[in-house]
């Protein structure tokens, strides 16, 4: 790679990713931009929104503020904003949901709209629940319907030939309601790899279905056009099929429709039926959402009693980030007019965090502890509180979102600029740029290779906090590091202090209940949803998967994804640095960073 001159403190992997995906190039594919210039261009375009409510001095002030937010890696927006701000296409949103009605015209309009969205860097979600079941009579042709899964293959094929923003492969979420007659075919549609490789899939389940499973009841299967019952299955049969497929392949995930719609801020506009590809943004048809993430690893400071969370810095960063994201809604271009109308109507944003695991390590807190969940609760509570206050301030300054009159906030007398404000995204790619742990996930490993991020390249990573800890404890690097390089974790390394072992615990070593406790702690303060994978060891059983589902539902989560070690042939993360190292996928069927951030 040609050296890129930069004064911003960036890791070698961050520079590789920026050069491959974000920095401008000339027709000969030579880089013509450095990271400072990229962040300046993004800050200038986003801050130009300020002119609608202020003067050129306000624009200049906010441009500098936004530049500092990004250049210090305290906050980064989703990839489409970094890729497209100030460029001709100018599409800045990450997440979209498109409707699919039960007509050939609607299906192929959705394929076309998907292509337009993905060509500008967005990820797309679909509910296929309105499509008639396979084998159903089609009066117009006197033929038989192909069914949702067959049409999903058309979407998948189209995505395969689109590269998001010209820089990354597209990603989709496919959702089917648990009461659709084709639900069992849908559940197993990814069992033969590489079927639907550009889709994550989720079953949309109701509270009534979960209770029917619990009580050994039945689930009616309803024709989506008429609502007529066409079959009835034991609820446990469907539940067992979901668990078995997830155990085998990592798909499908579960979406809990009732919690999602209880939190729908604009129910008068219709129910929410689908999410973006990684599940953190439930959206109405034609809605899009802009994401950004605060780097928690940068918000630990030293005090007389030791390292503590810089809550003052967190509050200030949150308020600035909310303004940034609201400005993104204003200046972004949208692929089709219905998306522009719905996005401006609700002005949804999704501010989240990354670097949570690194923050815990800096604080001396094990991810596998009660304190980790309580820290999550405090952190996200502050973010939610400040995001709400910032949206109220923007409403006073700029007006409420246009659909406010049709929202739950009207009934509460709460004036807001944004229908939603918070979400937890995977941050796969922007986490590399920020050189921090992804999202709210535990450390995947202490040393690993990341595949399928850059075409034909591997990114090799060793956790720098672990290296520092070895030196602080006077541990023999020449003995410890070779074992970590080979295995990626400390489980088989002898002679280490228990405190070090607990502090640097990795994803597969953490009980599933801890994964869910952390997810629930964040979800309680998030008005969208949380993208989080419950990683299970290779030896995990079907009962373990079932237990994750029950705990997730009982905790009030909006969705859950399970991934059992080595249950996919194609992986994103590979434990250790050696070619013989084992492999582990970090949750979804595409790299979360590829999907939407």
Rounded to an integer, what is the distance from CA 409 to the centroid of its chain?
26
Instruction: With CA atoms as reference, report the closest residue to 203 among 226, 222, 227, 186.
Output: 186
528 is catalytic: no
Give the sign of the dihedral formed by CA 386, CA 286, CA 177, CA 221.
Answer: positive
| Spatial contact of 552 and 560, defined as CB atoms under 8 Å apart | yes
Q: What gap in Å lies between CA 3 and CA 434, rounded to an integer?
A: 19
Q: What gap in Å lies between CA 580 and CA 568, rounded to an integer?
A: 17
63 is catalytic: no
Q: What gap in Å lies between CA 592 and CA 292, rounded to an integer?
A: 14
| Spatial contact of 245 and 191, defined as CB atoms under 8 Å apart | yes
Q: Give the residue ranges of DSSP H helices in 250-366.
A: 257-262, 311-331, 337-346, 356-363
157 is catalytic: no
| Spatial contact of 419 and 403, defined as CB atoms under 8 Å apart | yes
| Spatial contact of 376 and 521, defined as CB atoms under 8 Å apart | yes
Q: Give the residue ranges of DSSP H helices in 399-541.
A: 408-412, 428-434, 464-472, 477-487, 498-503, 512-523
Q: What gap in Å lies between CA 12 and CA 4, rounded to an integer?
A: 10
What are 294's strand-pairing partners? 75, 353
Q: Strand ranges (DSSP E) for 131-268?
A: 137-138, 143-144, 163-164, 168-169, 172-177, 199-205, 218-222, 229-234, 253-256
DSSP string, 310-344: -HHHHHHHHHHHHHHHHHHHHH-B-SSHHHHHHHH
Q: What gap in Å lies between CA 62 and CA 73, rounded to an integer?
A: 17
From the list 280, 441, 509, 585, the catalytic residue is: 280
From the list 95, 189, 278, 289, the catalytic residue is: 278
Q: Which residues does 144 contact at the CB level (< 8 Å), separation at least 6?
A: 134, 135, 136, 137, 138
Please give the structure tokens belonging to residue 478.
């020449």
Please give the structure tokens belonging to residue 529.
């949803």
List the end-to-end C-alpha distance of the chain, in Å, as a whole number: 24
Q: What gap in Å lies between CA 368 and CA 490, rounded to an integer?
A: 15
Distances (CA, A) of 157 to 150, 172, 194, 198, 579: 11, 11, 12, 8, 32
**3-class DSSP state of 508:** helix
Q: What gap in Å lies between CA 127 and CA 146, rounded to an integer?
A: 16
Q: Which residues does 352 contact at the CB level (< 8 Å), separation at least 6?
A: 280, 291, 292, 293, 294, 383, 422, 423, 424, 425, 427, 439, 526
| Spatial contact of 80 and 323, defined as CB atoms under 8 Å apart | no
Say which residue the tokens 């001396």 belong to: 364
From the list 78, 172, 264, 276, the catalytic residue is: 276
Say which residue the tokens 């996200």 belong to: 380
Q: What gap in Å lies between CA 527 and CA 76, rounded to an integer?
A: 20
Rounded to an integer, what is the distance from CA 595 to the centroid of its chain?
8
The residues assigned a catalytic role are 276, 278, 280
């Amino acid at each position: 790679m040609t050296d890129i001159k930069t004064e911003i403190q960036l890791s070698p992997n961050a520079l590789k990713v920026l050069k491959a995906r974000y920095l401008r190039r000339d027709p000969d594919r030579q880089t013509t931009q450095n990271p400072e210039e990229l962040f300046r261009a993004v800050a200038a375009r986003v801050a130009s929104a300020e002119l609608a409510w202020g003067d050129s001095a306000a624009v200049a002030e906010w441009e500098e503020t936004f530049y500092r937010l990004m250049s210090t890696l305290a906050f980064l927006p989703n990839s489409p904003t970094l890729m497209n701000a100030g460029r001709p296409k100018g599409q800045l949103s990450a997440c979209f949901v498109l409707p699919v009605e039960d007509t050939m015209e609607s299906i192929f309009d959705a394929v076309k709209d998907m292509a337009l969205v993905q060509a500008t860097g967005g990820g797309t979600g679909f509910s296929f629940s309105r499509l008639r079941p396979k084998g159903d009579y089609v009066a117009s042709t006197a033929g038989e319907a192909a069914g949702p899964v067959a049409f999903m293959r058309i979407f998948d094929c189209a995505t395969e030939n689109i590269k998001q923003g010209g820089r990354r492969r597209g990603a989709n979420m496919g959702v089917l309601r648990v009461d659709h007659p084709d639900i069992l075919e849908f559940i197993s549609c990814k069992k033969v790899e590489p079927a639907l490789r550009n889709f994550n899939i989720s079953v949309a389940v109701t509270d009534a279905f979960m209770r029917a499973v619990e009580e050994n009841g039945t689930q009616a299967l309803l024709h989506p056009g008429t609502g007529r019952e066409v079959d009835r299955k034991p609820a446990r049969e469907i539940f067992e099929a979901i668990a078995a497929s997830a155990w085998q392949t990592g798909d499908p995930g579960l979406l809990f429709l009732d919690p999602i719609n209880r939190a729908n801020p604009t129910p008068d506009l219709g129910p929410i039926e689908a999410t973006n590809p990684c599940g953190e943004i439930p959206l109405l048809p034609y809605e899009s959402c802009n994401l950004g993430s605060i780097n928690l690893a940068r918000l630990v400071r030293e005090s007389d009693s030791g390292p503590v969370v810089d809550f003052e810095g967190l509050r200030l960063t949150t308020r600035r980030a909310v303004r940034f994201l609201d400005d993104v809604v204003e200046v972004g271009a949208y692929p089709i007019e219905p998306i522009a109308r719905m996005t401006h109507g609700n002005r949804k944003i999704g501010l989240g965090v990354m670097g949570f695991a690194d923050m815990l390590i800096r604080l001396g807190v094990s991810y596998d502890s009660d304190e980790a969940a309580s820290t999550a609760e405090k952190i996200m509570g502050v973010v939610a509180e400040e995001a709400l206050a910032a949206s109220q301030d923007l409403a006073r300054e700029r007006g409420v979102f246009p659909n406010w009159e049709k929202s739950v906030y009207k009934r509460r007398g709460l004036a807001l600029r944004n229908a939603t404000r918070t979400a937890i995204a995977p941050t796969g790619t922007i986490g590399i740029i920020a050189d921090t742990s992804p999202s709210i996930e535990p450390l995947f490993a202490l040393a690993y290779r990341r595949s399928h991020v850059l075409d034909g390249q591997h990114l090799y990573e060793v956790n720098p906090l672990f290296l520092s800890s070895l030196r602080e404890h006077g541990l023999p690097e020449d003995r410890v590091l070779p074992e970590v390089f080979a295995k990626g974790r400390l489980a088989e390394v002898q002679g280490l202090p228990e405190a070090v072992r607990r502090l640097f615990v990795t994803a597969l070593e953490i009980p599933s209940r801890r994964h869910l406790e952390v997810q629930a702690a964040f979800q309680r303060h998030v008005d969208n949803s949380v993208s989080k994978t419950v990683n299970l060891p290779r030896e995990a059983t079907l009962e373990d998967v079932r237990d994750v589902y029950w705990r997730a539902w009982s905790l009030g989560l909006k969705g859950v994804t399970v991934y059992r070690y080595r249950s996919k042939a194609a992986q994103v993360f590979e434990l250790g640095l050696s070619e013989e190292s084992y492999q582990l996928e970090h949750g979804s069927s595409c790299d979360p960073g590829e999907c939407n951030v």
